[in-house]
Amino acid sequence: MRSLSLSVFLLTLAGALPAVAGEWPSGAREAFIRDCLAGAKARHEEGTARRYCECSADRVAAEFSSAELRELQGAKQVPAPMHERLLKTSTGCLSQLNRQQ
């Protein structure tokens, strides 16, 4: 019976996770994508780079809180722990770089 209660709890928690996702401040998502494209277009075509950067922006919003997204917006230099999280979060989008347009 205990495992059933744990399963119900985990399912309830999983349903609540999307509600915890952060919301980009006005213009911040676009700025994130623009900065990402500046580096990605050096090695990839525009469409491929854009898919990767948009995927990364979506995953970052899902992983980071609204407060953290606001902190990223104004940062000249991202603190090392946050930078590590950004890299880890965006690795899920690497498949976008291998897709053909």
pLDDT digits (tens, 9 = 90+) for 20-41: 578 999 999 999 999 999 988 8
Quick check: is 21 in a domain?
Answer: no
Quick check: is 6 in a domain?
Answer: no
Quick check: is 10 in a domain?
Answer: no
Task: List pLDDT tens digits, range 43-91.
Answer: 899 999 999 999 999 999 999 999 999 988 877 888 899 999 999 999 9
Residue 11 has pLDDT above 50, yes or no: no
What pLDDT, on the 0 to 100 scale, is given for residue 13? 36
Tokens representing residue 43 in the block: 């090695």
- The C-alpha atoms of residue 32 and residue 52 are separated, in whole angstroms, by 12
Domain that holds residue 70: 26-98
What pLDDT, on the 0 to 100 scale, is given for residue 100? 54
CB-count burial class (<10 Å; 0-12, 13-18, 19+) for 52: buried
> How many separate domains does the chain show?
1
Cα 44 to the chain's mean position, in Å?
A: 20
Could you count the other beta carbons within 10 Å of the beta carbon of residue 72? 21
Residue 7 has pLDDT above 50, yes or no: no
What pLDDT, on the 0 to 100 scale, is given for residue 97? 81
More confident residue, 75 or 4: 75
Quick check: is 14 in a domain?
Answer: no
Could you count the other beta carbons within 10 Å of the beta carbon of residue 83? 13
Q: Cα dist. 93→4, 18, 24, 85, 97 in Å?
A: 35, 18, 19, 14, 8
The model's pTM: 0.73
